[in-house]
Amino acid sequence: MDREAALSRIAAVLEPYLGATMAAASTRAHCEKLGIAPGPVSGEQMESLLGKLQSGLAVFVGRDKVTRVLAEIRAALGTAEASRP
């Protein structure tokens, strides 16, 4: 999947939890910190990004909901790991 499309889908899922600005900014910032360049994103890069987002999400939604939110993101991305616990 293309980086910009992935960032847009992730931010859309996070928006109800973080607000539009924070969802977009945090997703983009983590992506840039990980060195994920524009263009196609590998599954490994996506998992790295989700791992970074996971720790911050725990603060906003609580540890109990993080797994569910990550599953929502995976489903929105259409990844094979959408059912991951």
Tokens of 48: 């790295």
**Does residue 83 register a pLDDT over 70?**
no
pLDDT confidence of residue 84: 40
Domain boundaries, the chain: 3-77
Greater confidence, 80 or 5? 5
Radius of gyration, alpha carbons of the chain: 12
Residue 32 makes CB contacts below 8 A (sequence gap 6+) with: none
Distance CA 12, CA 42 (A): 20
- C-alpha–C-alpha distance, residues 1 and 3, integer Å: 6
State pLDDT tens for residues 22-50.
Answer: 999 999 999 999 999 999 999 899 999 99
